[in-house]
Amino acid sequence: MIKKLFGRADAEPKKSELTTEDLIVLERWDEAIAQLQSRLTANPNDLHANLKLAEVYVQAGKPQLALDRFLFVAESYTDDGFYDKAIALLTKVVRLAPGEGSIEGQIRKAQQLKTMEHRSTLALEGLRAAQEVRRPEARLSLIEAQRMWQALSTTEVALNLPGEQLRRLFAFSKLVEPDRGRILAEAGAADEVLYLFGSGEGEAVYPLPGGGEPVLLRIFQCGDVIGDRALFEHQPWPATYRVTSPARLFRLDRVGLEQALQGNPDPRQFLDALRARRSDYDVAASVRKLVSSSA
């Protein structure tokens, strides 16, 4: 009578009552796979179901079927900015397909994006710490800093510096906003200061003896550095530098340089990146040619 009312205590649950986890414990792989595939038919982007299906494929002895699922989940992690999770998953998956170039490629991609995000975070921190000369109490808003970093991020000086160095460069510089036509340095001036163009344009010109229109030697724009000879080597400015459009520049003087180098993990890297283009040397060479030809 009791059995009729309640059934056998040790009776196996009906097939429809078993969860995916139950099927995995019972090692009923085909049924677990079918359940997971059904979930994915309804929602192909369900990362948990994709990951679980990949793991079941591995347990069922079907590693090749697991590979695409693992790669899909890892790529989704990367696209969503979860770089550590992507790298950890891909590193785990490498043993399923040793020498598989696509896995190594995804690991490199995730590592590069992680590095870029870290650089951006530190660069923005430095940009927001930079003092505006006209308003020392003011700081760039997050939106302003993001716009400026977007313009600077692909320039040579930014690409040559890791995040911490970028933070130091921006944080210990003064942000200046000269109007169009403003002279930054006269030819022969001894001002020991360096400028990095954050926006706008400028030019180097040289006044010929006897008057007349100054000769244009070089044009500068976002990412260009001027004054590296003056700041690092105590050399006079080789020409007259002026702004040709409303601009934002980072002005690094000797005090700021000392602050940027104090405790710097790689001071040579910092200095080399700022003088990599050697713009002032090119301008100085042009001036020598100009003076020689007009003598």
Asked if 194 and 235 count as a contact pair (C-beta separation under 8 A), the reply is: no
Query: Going by DSSP bridges, is the β-strand pair 215-220/248-253 parallel, antiparallel, or unpaired?
Result: unpaired
Whole-angstrom distance, CA of residue 21 vs CA of residue 116: 39
Q: How many CA atoms lie within 13 A of 21 on its CB side?
A: 1
Task: For the chain, list residues with pLDDT below 50.
Answer: 1-11
Note the pLDDT of residue 99: 74
13-102 CATH, one of 3.90.110.10, 1.25.40.10, 3.20.20.140, 3.10.20.30:
1.25.40.10
Asked if 177 and 246 count as a contact pair (C-beta separation under 8 A), the reply is: yes
DSSP state of 130: P
Amino acid at 15: K
DSSP state of 96: G
146 CB neighbour count, 10 Å cutoff: 16
287 CB neighbour count, 10 Å cutoff: 17
Whole-angstrom distance, CA of residue 216 vs CA of residue 242: 11
At 89 the three-state DSSP class reads helix
Whole-angstrom distance, CA of residue 228 vs CA of residue 157: 13
Note the pLDDT of residue 134: 59
Note the pLDDT of residue 7: 44
Q: Which residues contact 77 (CB under 8 A, 6 or more apart)?
A: 47, 83, 85, 86, 89, 110
Rounded to an integer, what is the distance from CA 224 to the centroid of its chain? Answer: 19
209 CB neighbour count, 10 Å cutoff: 8
Second CATH level (architecture) for the domain 156-294: Sandwich (2.60)
pTM: 0.75
Do 156-294 and 13-102 fall under one CATH topology?
A: no
Asked if 132 and 173 count as a contact pair (C-beta separation under 8 A), the reply is: no
Question: Domain map of the chain by residue range?
Answer: 13-102, 156-294
